[in-house]
Amino acid sequence: MNAYFDEFGHLVVDIEVKGGLDSKVVPAFIDTFFEGYICLPIEIAVQLGLLLFAYEPYELADGSEKKELVFLGSAKFSGDDEELPVEIVLTESKDTLVGITMLSEMRVEVDFKKRNIKIEKSLDS
């Protein structure tokens, strides 16, 4: 899987997100505070044709809560064959996020000193 540090030291993984109309490979920040699958910019979501699924409350990093539309799609890590059904929340930001639910079946090794990240399927799953 293609995972790397960007120029600012953020952990990034390439994912392919698929909706009813199209699919797209996007770089996504690994966000361990985000408990969902994927947070996707609105403009990308519209291109993909995602299916509206729910309207759910979310707690933001500052502790405040707001309701968000949740969409259904599928995703896979770039270079992986296994496509997973995922819940996707949208953002007005230009950044895509991958949350801990998307990573829950993966083994993630990070060496900050060597700027190396390795993501692979867990042997336990």
**pLDDT tens figures, 71-117:** 999 999 988 888 999 999 998 899 999 999 999 988 889 999 999 89
Residue given tokens 């995922």 in the structure block:
86
Name the domain count of the chain: 1
Q: How confident is the model at residue 1 (pLDDT cuts 50, 70, 90)?
A: confident
Cite the beta strand spans of 6-83 per DSSP E: 11-18, 23-30, 38-41, 51-59, 65-77
Paired tokens of 6:
């960007």
| Nearest-angstrom CA–CA distance, 110 and 114 | 9
- Domain of 25? 3-121
Q: What is the mean pLDDT of the chain?
A: 91
- Specify the DSSP class assigned to residue 92: S
What is the mean pLDDT of the segment spanning 12-21? 95
- Domain at 75, CATH number: 2.40.70.10
Q: Is residue 98 a contact partner of residue 35, using CB atoms and an 8 Å limit?
A: no
Q: Give the pLDDT confidence score for residue 124 in this predicted structure.
A: 64
Report pLDDT digits (tens) over 33-71.
Answer: 899 999 999 999 999 999 999 998 888 778 899 888 899
